[in-house]
Amino acid sequence: MKWRILCIVVAIILAAVIVAWPRDQFVASTSAADWAPTSANIARGAYLARAGDCIGCHTVRGGAAFAGGRALTTPFGTLYGPNLTPDAATGLGRWSADDFWGALHNGRARDGRFLYPAFPFPHYTKTTRRDSDALFAYLRSLPPVRQQNAAHAMAFPYNTQLALAGWRLLFFRPGVYETAPARDASWNRGAYLVEGLGHCSACHSTRNAFGASAPGLQGGMIPVLNWYAPSLSSADEAGVASWRQDEIVQLLHTGASPRATVIGPMAEVVANSLQHLSGADVAAMATYLQALPPTAAEGDMKVKPSASTMTAGGTIYDQHCVECHGADGRGLAPAYPPLAGNRAVTLHESANVARIILQGGFAPGTNANPRPYGMPPFAHVLNDDEVAQVMTYVRASWGNRGNEVTAAQVNRYRGATLE
């Protein structure tokens, strides 16, 4: 009897797995003309590659574009971006447009293997077949580069196809973006870019213990990089519902606006991707971001800093910071960002400000802002206690209400890098 019950339970579990298993989806090309190497297809694909920031993971610094090799460190091991050039031996030379669609939409390699979700196929799955084909046409137009793909170095059991199968069962459902009929064309275009090729929630959301992104754009630490990607739906973090649209467009296109400056991993996104998008597409992204349902922040200062900490922090500020940011913390935007009322300064997660003080902060050099001002590093000048003191002073002055920072928190980020 017990064995019969056990067999029934196992059968039910297997049936549930079969029913829940994410089926591969196939959408055929409208015609071979969609991925033919025409100038129109190649130009369209190049634009889409910019929108997806493909070069960011598939190009090693100083190496050939899209030839792969860049290390992507994760909590589960190290992955290496593969070669996307049309080399027959090491790249996409033997791939078909259907093979490429299978990778982009279903997260499967040409031979059927499951791909690691560090390749953001859970977002790219929203891409239309026509856009997938244009991307393929562009990548096939690149000069072939013979560069062998490096083997991933993942810890057990994350290096197994069984683990990837389980991950897909729990966290992945393929599906092209579906237009929201209640929204206008601009909002839908923005949603398609933000949620799909732009894969913004890959950084701007929390991740669970298995590395899967939570739905929404409510902010989260970027694994390994020790950088906090702020919530795009909270007015106290990086929400833009109250901004004028031209201010959002300026920030995304140039990396700097009177309201904010892009620093850290987002600077690379602006440099590689967003500055190259059309004004209409960036405006569409702004429309979508402004319409996000608002979420609450973590809250204001819980414990008022001691007078001695504020005095010590103020002294350090006067020595090293006041010349650019002013005695009143108002700075001179966009060259010298204001610290008074600056949401980036008062985030509940102090990682970003600590890293900017320690390692410097640099906006991207863009076509519209080719020589931005930068913040010099102070890791060689200030110790952990001093950085904590000046951070606490800035976070609690001029009406700011950020929590106190400790030397232990600062030390956590002293040796961090953005690679």
Residue 80 included in any domain:
yes
pTM for the whole thing?
A: 0.90
- Per-residue pLDDT reduced to its tens digit, 352-402: 999 999 999 999 999 989 989 899 999 999 999 999 999 999 999 999 998
Same domain for 395 and 320: yes
| Range name among 3-7, 137-141, 196-200, 222-226 with the lowest pLDDT average | 3-7
Output the domain CATH number for residue 327.
Answer: 1.10.760.10
pLDDT value of position 278: 97
Counting residues of the chain whose pLDDT is more than 70, the rounded percentage is 92
What integer pLDDT is reported at residue 27 of this predicted model?
Answer: 81
pLDDT score at 332: 87
Mean pLDDT across the stretch 9-33? Answer: 58
Residues 164 and 29 both lie in one domain: yes
Residue 163 sits in the same domain as residue 51:
yes
Identity of the amino acid at 156: F
Mean pLDDT of 121-129: 97
Q: Which of 269, 270, 276, 272 is nearest to 257 (CA)?
A: 270
Q: Are residues 35 and 97 in the same domain?
A: yes
Give residue for tokens 């414990």: 303
Q: What is the pLDDT of residue 3?
A: 55
The pair of three-digit structure tokens given for residue 30, joined into one six-digit string: 């409208």
Determine which helix (DSSP H) or strand (DSSP E) holds 375, and give its type and residue range.
strand 374-375
Is 239 domain-assigned? yes
Residue 12 lies in a domain: no
Q: SS3 of 346, please?
A: coil
H or E, element range at 72: strand 71-74
Of the candidates 179, 58, 84, the one whose C-alpha atom is nearest the C-alpha of residue 128 is: 179
53 and 134 co-located in one domain: yes
Q: Is the pLDDT of residue 205 over 50?
A: yes
CA distance 331 to 191: 34
Position 140 in a domain: yes
Round to whole Å and give the CA distance between 193 and 170: 25
Give the DSSP letter string of 270-287.
HHHTGGGS-HHHHHHHHH
Q: Has residue 20 got a pLDDT over 50?
A: no
Residue 231 · residue 297 · CB < 8 Å: yes
What crossing angle do the helices spanning 129-141 and 97-106 adopt, rounded to 10°?
120
Determine the average pLDDT of the residues in 190-215: 94
Which residue among 290, 316, 343 closes a domain? 290
Per-residue model confidence (pLDDT) at position 18: 44
More confident call, 295 vs 248:
248
C-alpha distance from residue 177 to each of 21, 126, 129 (Å): 20, 4, 11
* Same domain? 273 vs 202: yes
Task: Name the nearest CA neighbour of 397 among 298, 333, 296, 311.
Answer: 311
Domain end point (choices 238, 257, 290): 290
* Whether residues 58 and 88 fall in one domain: yes
User: Does the pLDDT value for residue 132 go beyond 70?
Assistant: yes
Amino acid of residue 389: Q
Residue 242 has which token pair? 């109250």
369, part of any domain: yes
Is position 54 within any domain? yes
Query: Which residue type occupies 325?
Result: H
pLDDT at 226: 87
Which pLDDT value is given to residue 208? 92
Burial of 49 from C-beta contacts in 10 A (0-12 / 13-18 / 19+):
buried
pLDDT digits (tens, 9 = 90+) for 293-330: 998 766 555 678 999 999 999 999 999 999 999 999 99
Average pLDDT, the chain: 91
The segment with the largest mean pLDDT, out of 20-24, 41-45, 61-65, 211-215, is: 41-45
- Does residue 352 share a domain with residue 269? no
Same domain, 208 and 281: yes
Q: Is residue 297 part of a domain?
A: no
- Higher-confidence residue: 54 or 403? 54
* φ/ψ bin of 260: left (φ > 0), alpha (ψ from -120 to 50), beta (otherwise): beta
Give a yes or no: residue 150 inside a domain. no
Whether 46 and 164 map to the same domain: the answer is yes
Whether residues 315 and 404 fall in one domain: yes
10 Å CB burial of residue 155 (0-12, 13-18, 19+) is exposed
| Domain tally, the chain | 3
Backbone torsions φ then ψ of 74, nearest 5 degrees: -125, 170
The predicted-structure confidence for 27-83, as pLDDT tens digits, reads as follows 888 888 888 999 999 999 999 999 999 999 999 999 999 999 999 999 999 999 999
* % residues pLDDT > 90 (the chain): 80
Task: Clarify whether residues 320 and 227 are in a common domain.
Answer: no
Band the pLDDT of 215: cuts 50, 70, 90. Answer: confident
Instruction: State which residues form the domain around 399.
Output: 307-413
Q: Is 269 exposed, middle or buried (0-12, 13-18, 19+ CB in 10 A)?
A: buried
> Domain boundary at 290, 320, 336, which?
290
pLDDT tens column, 265-297: 999 999 999 999 999 999 999 999 999 999 876
Q: What is the DSSP string of 110-144?
A: TTSPBPPTTS-HHHHTTS-HHHHHHHHHHHHHSPP
Q: Which two tokens stand for residue 77?
A: 């091991």
